[in-house]
Structure 1
Amino acid sequence: MAEIPVVHLVLDDTLGAMFIGVVVAAALWGVSCVQAWYYYNHYRVDLWHIRLLVTAAFITDTIHQMLITHTLYVYLVTNFGNPLILDSLVWSLLVEVLFNGLTALMVQLFFTIRIWKLSERSIAVTLCVLLLVLAEFGTVFAYTVKALHFSTFTQLAELKALSMTVNALAAAGDVVIAAVLCTVLHRARTGFQHSNNVINRLMIFCVNTGLLTSICAVLSLITISALPNTFIYIAFYFASGRLYLNSLLATLNARRSIHNKPVGPSNFSESISLSFREGTTGLRTAGAGSANTIIHGSHNVRSIGQKTSNGGISVKIETETVQEYPGENDIETLSSVSMSKFPVDLEVGSPTKPKPIA
């Protein structure tokens, strides 16, 4: 009986790279689960559309993890010992591209809305970022539709240019979003130490969260260009979706630490109103200021006019305390730079007690 020759296949840079990509993606999905649990337990009063966004992004990311796991199972288990499968496309490997793109789209749209609010609703800036984000998803959708008509990797190679465009737009979108956020945050500096410290932390956080997804997209672009006959670029693409979801959850979960405040009432500022009177003429000049600037809430300064029988100075100091809960107001961490105020009256007048104007 003749011996059957054993064929030794080198799969390190193909299925081996895909295997590593699935393992890394699974580990990052585990991190996403922990972050999602933390979010739902600590930010229960967030705006409904933010909670819906987190839920939708987590679902699409989970489906993506299921699809790439199915792909690996078909190649390594179902078709174990079948070398002919190596050039065949599994449907789940093509569909996963769409779900990865959906996750990226939702996260990038979230940051685009932050840019719109932070840039004082600048249509030009927001539109540029939005077009880049939509262009990326458009190429992802086109790639998926075209790829579903193919059955082998040899045919899929025809879409190399489109695949490179997807990764290039992804990297460009992440870099532009991070750069614009840092720019508008830098312009929001007030000169007060507390607010500047918060803004600095926000800028560093924006760079760090956008950096990981950008690096992943760039590495995928480089490997598909330099090593088109391997699956190394697929490994990087598998991990990109997890990084998008983790960047969203990390941004939402870091709001307390960025503000460096405990749960409950905390931040406050004071508004001081002064009015100068001459007799009973009612002529007054008012000025007001705030001692602290906080990225939270709103600021309103009021001047209370008073008549005095003698010339005098009326001073009104308002301190208003607002019960804060970690929730929908915290979402403005990346959307507004404004004042927070907190209500007790103290009036100091002339020797003759002033009477308030009706």
Structure 2
Amino acid sequence: MANVKLLFGPMLLGVFINMVLYGILIVQTYHYYLTFKKDAPWIRYLVLYLFIVESVNTGCDVAIMYQPLIENFGLPDATKNFPTLFAAEPITIVAISTPIQIFFAWRIKLLTKSNIIPLIVVALSIVSLCGGAWTTALIVKIKLFARKPELHWPALVWFLSACIADVLITVVLVTTLSKRKTGFVATDDAISKIIRMTVQTGMLTAFFAIGDVVFFMTLPHTALNFIWDLALTKLYSNCLLSTLNARASLQELTGHGLSARNAVSSDRNRRMENTIEGPAHILGSSMYELNTHKSFENSDMEYGVTITKIVETRQDPAPGLARGLSTQ
């Protein structure tokens, strides 16, 4: 007799978490389309694709629980076989995680100007995609809960590659962004916020993937790993949407700092121009600000942060004025 609590209890909790995160995803998607109307079309299509696949995933998860707990309630097959739509779970997870990981690989390429690490991330994401497809095919084949340990190898390929990709993305982004600090308070605050967000979102998906692997491998005859597994797709999508939507607050943060510096610089230049003429001495410094009106192809910083130059102009005193000052 199957232990129903250990089979369907974790799955039910996982579906509850999935649906809560789906509600958050709806809000984030609405906010994105309302706020960032000038993003590159392919990014807007990516968000739409993620929302459609997540909606399908949520419907499948509800059906996964409805079939054994309602439709087949009391029948032997309810606890003997995998629910019919259970096979859709692995393939929908990798259908979400793979394009998101490739997106971040592209961002790493823009930041590092290197192809090596992005290619590694893409390779890992493709391996994860293959592992998820392999797991789906095997679920369709074996059908029985009792044969769940046979899923170990494809699931291990799937989860480990995805986990390594998530950790690598997080480490590379944090390391690269840390080197971009300029010494300006507003800029460094924005970069620090991006770093915190990168760690929180990247490590969250990696943590759930690791939990899925550990519970799957150590407790093969239970469904405890599905507490992690069924929430994984929504974590990927919500993490991406949160990074895209955070650009608004980052723009405000860097914009205020830049405006204050420009005001001080303009006032200084006006005072100098009233009394001083002659050749200019240029002091260059770099500043990062958000650029939400340009497509990501023109961006050098993560999440649409680009490099601009703040130039401070100082002029030498005119010869006559210099002699007058020296005699005083």
Query: The TM-score by the shorter chain falls in which range?
Result: 0.7 to 0.9
What corresponds to 1:37 in structure 2? 30
Q: How far apart are residue 261 of structure 1 and its match?
A: 4.2
What corresponds to 1:340 in structure 2? 308
For the aligned residues, what is the CA RMSD?
Answer: 3.3
Asked if 1:71 corresponds to 2:64, the answer is yes
* Structure 2: distance between partners of 1:242 and 1:337: 26
Q: Is the 8 A contact 2:212 2:228 kept in 1?
A: yes
Unpaired runs of 5+ residues, structure 2, are 270-277, 321-328
2:210 aligned to 215, 218, 230, which one?
Answer: 218
What corresponds to 1:289 in structure 2? 283
What corresponds to 1:311 in structure 2? none
TM-score w.r.t. the length of structure 1 is 0.76
* Structure 1: distance between partners of 2:48 and 2:204: 22
Asked if 1:116 corresponds to 2:109, the answer is yes
Q: Which amino acid aligns with 1:293?
A: M
Structure-2 change in CA distance of 1:194 and 1:329 (3 Å): farther
What corresponds to 2:240 in structure 1? 248
Does 108-117 or 185-194 show the bigger shift?
185-194
What corresponds to 2:77 in structure 1? 84
Does 139-148 or 50-59 show the bigger shift?
139-148
Relative contact order: is structure 1 or structure 2 higher (C-alpha 8 Å, sep ≥ 6)?
2
Q: Which amino acid aligns with 1:50?
A: I
Q: Is the 8 A contact 2:109 2:115 kept in 1?
A: yes
Percent identical residues: 25
Q: Is the 8 A contact 1:132 1:169 kept in 2?
A: yes
Q: Which amino acid aligns with 1:47?
A: A
Asked if 1:139 corresponds to 2:131, the answer is yes
More helix by share: 2
Structure-2 change in CA distance of 1:65 and 1:328 (3 Å): farther
Q: Is the 8 A contact 2:287 2:309 kept in 1?
A: no
Cα offsets for 1:239-296 (capped at 9, x unmatched): 00000000011001111212334999x75857999xxxxxxxxxx9975334561234
Structure-2 change in CA distance of 1:179 and 1:20 (3 Å): same
Q: Is the 8 A contact 1:118 1:336 kept in 2?
A: no
TM-score w.r.t. the length of structure 2 is 0.82
Q: How far apart are residue 90 of structure 1 and its match?
A: 2.5
What are the within-5 Å matches in structure 2 for residues 133-282 of structure 1? 133-261=125-253
What corresponds to 1:100 in structure 2? 93
Asked if 1:47 corresponds to 2:40, the answer is yes
| Shift >6 Å, 4+ stretches | 270-273, 345-349
Structure-2 change in CA distance of 1:77 and 1:327 (3 Å): farther
Q: How far apart are residue 87 of structure 1 and its match?
A: 1.8
Give the secondary-structure state (helix, strand or coil) at the position aligned to 2:150. Answer: helix
* Structure 2: distance between partners of 1:330 and 1:155: 46
Q: How far apart are residue 221 of structure 1 and its match?
A: 0.9
Give the secondary-structure state (helix, strand or coil) at the position aligned to 1:89. Answer: coil
Q: Is the 8 A contact 1:135 1:169 kept in 2?
A: yes
Structure-2 change in CA distance of 1:295 and 1:129 (3 Å): farther
What corresponds to 2:325 in structure 1? none
Q: Is the 8 A contact 1:102 1:137 kept in 2?
A: yes
Give the secondary-structure state (helix, strand or coil) at the position aligned to 2:230. Answer: helix
Give the secondary-structure state (helix, strand or coil) at the position aligned to 1:232. Answer: coil
**Count of paired positions:** 305
* Structure 2: distance between partners of 1:249 and 1:50: 11
Give the secondary-structure state (helix, strand or coil) at the position aligned to 2:282. Answer: strand
Structure-2 change in CA distance of 1:116 and 1:262 (3 Å): closer
Q: Is the 8 A contact 1:296 1:329 kept in 2?
A: no
* Structure 1: distance between partners of 2:11 and 2:171: 32
